[in-house]
């Protein structure tokens, strides 16, 4: 049997974090989550990675968390992957990315850092991050990465608290030499599920933000992509040709299966759904189409008549699952905005 070919694997090296982002999507930070947490920071995860990489054809791994820099052995994990010919991305809040750690990680093979830049204003970034000093730390980290010739993209999570700051934040990112920006609308889940009312942007706010991003992408020649789905029934994304848009990749050839330190595999990092464990069954069996069928097929009833249903899938079903307990529910951005739109006539 040939090895499954995966574009990427997301590896959550820890569930611990030194920030408390209001918009956090990690399911284990949901107010009602009572399951066990995998905070372990000392377990050697290299045997797990070797076990997985022996079973799949995959040349790219993203290390995330929680906050991956809380693991002191992160450099060794990066080296292990690099030596196996795997490209490594690191998603971090940047708070522990000191100059020396940055150099070390780049030299060991981190090809891209993904860091948050939530506002050009210190107080807004720090408030959304739930951590004083986060803004200064992330800017220093970006500057260090670029100084040492590493690559960095920043993430702007669009919420009602910061969406008006978008243009100046993109400008700041460009000034610091980032290679791209991800403009992700707030996607409730985890701790964020408790902040829907005060953080979730409206369609009108998102439309303005997309126009701002469209302008900035042209002005600064800055690649900007929106990887959290935006439903075409709410916003016509074709009006923003310089922005990239994506839909849920679960079950497709672009899927980013997510692995935790216990060996559990999930369809993506937003969902708590566990497909299987690599220590008890082959990876190929875990991601078999039959195993994924329910997850892939889950689409809200509201979307049934839509011609773009299979492409859009109603948005982020994992968000619906975490917030409302049902993969087939309308996820918050769709639910709240289509209701508002109907009320407007």
Partner 1 sequence: MNTTRREFMRQVGVTLAGLLLSGCDLGSRLTLPPTPSQEPFSTPPFSCYQSPAAPPYVDMSYELRSHPRWIALRDRWLELKDPKLKALEDTDFSRGLRQRHADALKALVDNTELDAAVADEIGVAFEQAIAHIQRQTAACCYEPLPPEYTPRQNLTTQAAVLNEVAQRSSIDVDTVDRAKAALERDIAWLSQFQAGQIPGKLESIEVTPVEAQAALTLVTLLLIK
Site of interaction with partner 1 (CB under 8 A): 7-8, 10, 60, 62, 82, 85, 87, 89, 91, 107-109, 111-112, 114, 120, 122, 136, 139-140, 142-144, 146-147, 149, 151, 153, 155, 171-172, 174-177, 179-180, 182, 184, 220-221, 223, 225-227, 244-247, 249, 252-254, 256, 311
DSSP state of 341: H
Nearer to partner 1, 289 or 342 (CB): 289
Q: 168 or 281: whose CB is closer to partner 1? A: 168
Question: CB 146 → partner 1: shortest distance, Å?
Answer: 4
Looking at the Cβ atoms of 171 and 309, the one nearer to partner 1 is: 171
E-strand stretches of the chain:
5-6, 8-12, 57-58, 60-64, 87-91, 110-116, 152-158, 180-185, 224-226, 243-245, 256-260, 264-266, 276-277
Q: % helix / strand / coil in the chain, to the nearest 5? A: 40, 15, 45
Nearer to partner 1, 50 or 175 (CB): 175
Tell me how far, at minimum, the Cβ of 268 lies from partner 1, in Å.
9
Q: In the bound complex, what is the minimum distance in angstroms from residue 177's beta carbon to partner 1?
A: 6
Helix (H) or strand (E) holding 332: helix 332-343
- Cβ proximity to partner 1, 123 vs 326, nearer residue: 123
Shortest distance in whole angstroms from residue 253 CB to partner 1: 4
Nearer to partner 1, 204 or 310 (CB): 310
Query: Given the complex with partner 1, which of 144 and 339 has the nearer CB atom?
Result: 144
Closer to partner 1 by Cβ: residue 122 or 341: 122
* Beta strand residue intervals within 31-119, DSSP E: 57-58, 60-64, 87-91, 110-116
| Contact in structure between 224 and 217 (CB atoms under 8 Å) | yes
Contact status, residue 276 vs residue 192, Cβ threshold 8 Å: no
Lookup: tokens for 39: 């905070």
* Least distance (Å) between residue 162 CB and partner 1: 16
Around Cβ 229, how many Cβ atoms within 10 Å?
26
The CA–CA distances, whole Å, from 199 to 121, 193, 327 equal 17, 10, 22
Give least dist CB 226 to partner 1, A.
Answer: 7
Please state the closest distance from residue 112 (CB atom) to partner 1, in A.
5
Contact 182, 226 (CB under 8 A): yes
User: What is the rounded end-to-end Cα distance, in angstroms, of the chain?
Assistant: 55
CB atoms within 10 A of CB 201: 21
CB 127 to partner 1: min, Å:
16
Which H or E run contains 148? none
Take residue 215 and report the two structure tokens written for it.
């302008």
Structure tokens at 88: 């490594």
CA dihedral (322, 186, 64, 22) positive or negative: negative
């Amino acid at each position: 049997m040939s090895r499954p070919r995966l574009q990427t694997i997301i590896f959550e090296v820890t569930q611990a974090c030194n920030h408390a982002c209001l918009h956090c999507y990690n399911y284990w930070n949901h107010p009602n989550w009572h399951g066990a947490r995998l905070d372990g920071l000392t377990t050697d995860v290299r045997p797990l990675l070797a076990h997985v990489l022996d079973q799949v054809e995959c040349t790219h791994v993203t290390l995330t968390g929680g906050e991956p820099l809380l693991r002191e052995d992160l450099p060794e994990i990066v080296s292990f992957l690099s030596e196996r010919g795997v490209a490594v991305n690191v998603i971090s809040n940047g708070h522990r990315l000191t100059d020396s750690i940055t150099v070390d990680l780049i030299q060991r093979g981190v090809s891209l850092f993904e860091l948050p830049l939530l506002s050009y204003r210190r107080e807004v970034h720090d408030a959304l991050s739930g951590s004083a000093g986060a803004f200064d730390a992330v800017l220093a980290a970006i500057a260090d990465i670029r100084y040492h010739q590493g690559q960095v993209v920043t993430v702007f999570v669009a919420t009602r608290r910061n969406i008006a700051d978008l243009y100046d934040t993109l400008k700041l990112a460009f000034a610091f030499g980032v290679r791209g920006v991800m403009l992700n609308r707030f996607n409730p889940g985890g701790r964020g599920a408790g902040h829907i009312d005060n953080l979730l942007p409206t369609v009108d706010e998102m439309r303005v933000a997309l126009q701002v991003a469209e302008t900035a992408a042209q002005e600064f020649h800055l690649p900007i992509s929106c990887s959290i789905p935006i439903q075409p029934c709410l916003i016509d994304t074709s009006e923003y040709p310089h922005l990239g848009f994506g839909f849920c990749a679960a079950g497709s050839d672009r899927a980013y299966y997510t692995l935790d330190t216990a060996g559990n595999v999930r369809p993506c990092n937003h969902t708590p759904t566990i497909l299987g464990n690599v220590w008890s069954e082959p990876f190929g069996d875990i991601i078999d189409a039959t195993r994924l069928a329910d997850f892939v097929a889950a689409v809200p009833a509201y979307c049934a008549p839509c011609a773009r249903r299979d492409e859009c899938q109603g948005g982020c079903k994992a968000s619906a699952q975490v917030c409302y307990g049902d993969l087939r529910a309308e996820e918050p951005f769709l639910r709240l905005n289509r209701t508002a739109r109907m009320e407007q006539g």
